[in-house]
Each structure stands twice: as structure tokens, then as C-alpha cells.
Amino acid sequence: MDLLDALDKAKLTILRVYSTDAGFEMTNDYFKIKDSEDTYMSSTGIKVFSQEYPEAQIVELVLSENASKHFIHTFVTPGKLLQQRPKEQHDKYLIARRDSVLTRDDREKLLMTNAYSGYIYLIDQSYKIRWAGSGWPTEAEVDGLWKAVKGILKENTLRLNKNK
């Protein structure tokens, strides 16, 4: 499955992109469930996410920096990496060679210039980036992400009702 196939599976996608463990760690706070120790990336958390946001999904994209890391991500550790995610998320976990899928110019346009950071993009069904964040988020940034998710889903519902 490629990224466009994954994006087509929901009306709204929260795309988590990282190349390193540090980038992964940086983006964890975006997925903490408010007033809970759990995250939306756990087995129980993904069920909560699906109930709260049934028309949305979380997709993870690991961008391997070079051929050797891509080999490790693809052939050596994929089972271990998948075991760390809920089964419901396995088809939403993608691995690609960074330079094969995004040129330096494209990464600059997406403000994805730090290979060690993690990035969050909120992508609607028209493939438009509606919100973006990176690095260690502040509480306001986390709140901003989830406010945007709710707002876009509400916008989709209003548009659907208007077209009936």
C-alpha cells in the first residue's frame, strides 16, 4: 500500500512522519488522550480514537534516511516495529526511502527540513494539508491539532448535509 491508498481510506488523516527514534518520541505527545495516561496509539487508545473520530485515521510514515536504514526498517525489524502498534494500525504503517519519495525541494515546501524531528500533518479528503506541526509540541499545539480535527470533521458533516 502506498500513501495515497492510505489517505483514501478516511475523510481525514493525521499523518505522522519521522526518520529517527527521536522524531518518533517528539510526536508522541500529539497522541496522548486528554485526562488519561493512555495514547491513541495503544490498543485501547486506537479504539477510543475510532469511536471519537470515526471518519478519521492515523497513518505513520517512516522515512528511512539511506539504503542501509531502509533495509533494516524493511527487512530486519518490521515485525518488531509492528508489534509496538495495535493490529488495527498495521496497514497504516508505511516505510519509504526519504530521498526516493520526497526531493529536498519537496521537503522544504512541507517544512520537513530537520531529519531528526517528527512531523504531524492533518490531510483532508482533497489531499490538502490543513494543519501541520513538528518537534516537541506545546500543550497549545496539541490542543490546536485536536481542535482542527474536530473542526474539519464538522465541516465535512455540514458539507454532506448541504449536498443532500
CATH number at residue 23: 3.40.30.10
Q: What is the pTM of this model?
A: 0.84
- How far is 158 from 150, CA to CA, in rounded Å? 12
Which is nearest to 1 in space by CA: 94, 101, 63, 87? 94
Number of domains in the chain: 1
Distance of CA 126 to the CA centre of its chain: 16
Lowest mean pLDDT among 5-19, 63-77, 147-161: 63-77
37: number of Cβ within 10 Å: 7
pLDDT bin (cut points 50, 70, 90) of residue 159 is: confident
Which is nearest to 118 in space by CA: 57, 71, 63, 69? 63
Between residues 120 and 2, the one the model is more confident about: 120
Question: Which residues form the domain of 152?
Answer: 3-162
Percent of the chain at pLDDT > 90 equals: 46
- pLDDT exceeds cutoff 80 at 13: yes
Beta pairing class for 129-134 and 93-97: unpaired
Report the mean per-residue pLDDT for the chain. 84
- pLDDT exceeds cutoff 90 at 164: no
Report the first-to-last Cα separation within the chain, whole angstroms.
Answer: 33
Which is nearest to 130 in space by CA: 11, 22, 45? 11
pLDDT bin (cut points 50, 70, 90) of residue 98 is: low
Q: Do residues 142 and 40 touch, judged by C-beta distance below 8 A?
A: no
pLDDT tens digits, residue range 66-89?
566 655 666 556 566 666 776 777
Q: State residue 99's pLDDT score.
A: 64
